[in-house]
A and B are shown apart, each in its own frame.
Chain A
């Protein structure tokens, strides 16, 4: 899966905006939105919020978790724990990147937030590399990865799955009485 496809899924998340225009309710296939009144907050999917923001038709309100103290706590917790800690949002990385790129004027202390989220990401990816390594060396057949987000899984998806599949094929050819079916190369 391409990272832009993960971002596509992340863009469905609802965010709060304050429009500066009015529009009555719209009936999208995916649900109803609005009505829009200037100055009154309304929830819309991120893809629409970004479009409005780019056309200067709204202000985006950052989520509760996009706050320096909260993120510092999360970062400390992530560094202390060996396992993956619960994330503020299943799409925290994508939301941070998109909102900071397009709406940094609506987010207080944007640069600090960017650094904090990057730290959290780096710590988690390092843990992910370690656990992928031990998964392979222990030749496990099952792993539970509850608090991992889709973007993190997607980073190692191709490499990990390809390696596991290759190793499986090599091992199953060693076992006596292997079925002799042909497998694809990838």
Chain B
């Protein structure tokens, strides 16, 4: 057919040596991370391996597309798919940045106090961004208002000044792995706490706090 400027089999070969996942699984993981980030009230764990692999796939495809003459039938199909993946990736990163800006002192605090073995919350670029944002905000507040305050009121505690994410927000979720005995806290004094079992494939509405740890290990998916 068309002089295959796409040696498409290349892509699958490269990745089967490096990644444990197929490209299709990679994209599925990206979409899961995108939805989880979109719907959770706090910043989720960093998925930089997924982001980097997806970027690799996209740049590979983009460079193939550059080499091909316009009007090639396959090229337009690949182009459409690249646009779709790029949209998800951009939306995911934007979601994270919005939360970093909104909760910047708490995000930096979480990153500072996490144990050595735990996965990091921010990618190196995100960390640099958060630090800069913190410094810029502090400098701005000083220049605009604080330096005109009486000397004993010139400092500001960012952790107190910036609201925390509300972990008791309600979220919708779908269960991927069966879970037993999830504790549901009572809303009012006259209710008691109770436990529910989460069946695989079922969908629920409950507080984020009750299922937060299950998101990072992939047992539930926010929807």
Kindly supply a per-residue 1/0 record for chain B positions 132-145, scoring 1 wherever the CB is within 8 Å of any chain A CB and 0 otherwise: 00000000000000
Nearest-CB residue, chain A, relative to B161? A182
The residues of B that contact A28 with a CB separation of less than 8 Å are 77-78, 81
Nearest-CB residue, chain A, relative to B162? A182
Which residues of A come within 8 Å of B, CB atoms? 1, 5, 8-9, 21, 23-24, 26-31, 47-48, 51, 135, 139-146, 148, 150, 153, 157, 160-161, 164-165, 168-169, 171-172, 175, 181-185
The answer on a CB contact under 8 Å between A164 and B163 is no
How far, in angstroms, from A171 to B57 measured CA to CA in the complex?
49
How far, in angstroms, from A145 to B205 measured CA to CA in the complex?
7
Apart from A145-B172, A161-B169, 14 more pairs, CB < 8 Å: A21-B73, A26-B78, A29-B24, A29-B85, A30-B23, A51-B80, A139-B188, A142-B206, A145-B204, A161-B171, A165-B169, A169-B166, A172-B168, A181-B164
**B109 contacts partner chain A, Cβ-Cβ < 8 Å:** no
The residues of B that contact A23 with a CB separation of less than 8 Å are 1, 73-74
**B47 contacts partner chain A, Cβ-Cβ < 8 Å:** no
Closest beta carbon of chain A to B190's beta carbon, Å: 10
Partner of B170 from the list A30, A144, A148, A164 (CB cut-off 8 Å) is A164
How far, in angstroms, from A165 to B41 measured CA to CA in the complex?
11
**B179 contacts partner chain A, Cβ-Cβ < 8 Å:** no
The answer on a CB contact under 8 Å between A144 and B27 is no
The answer on a CB contact under 8 Å between B27 and A168 is no
**B216 contacts partner chain A, Cβ-Cβ < 8 Å:** no
**Given A28-B77, A148-B203, A171-B188, A153-B11 contact (CB < 8 Å):** no
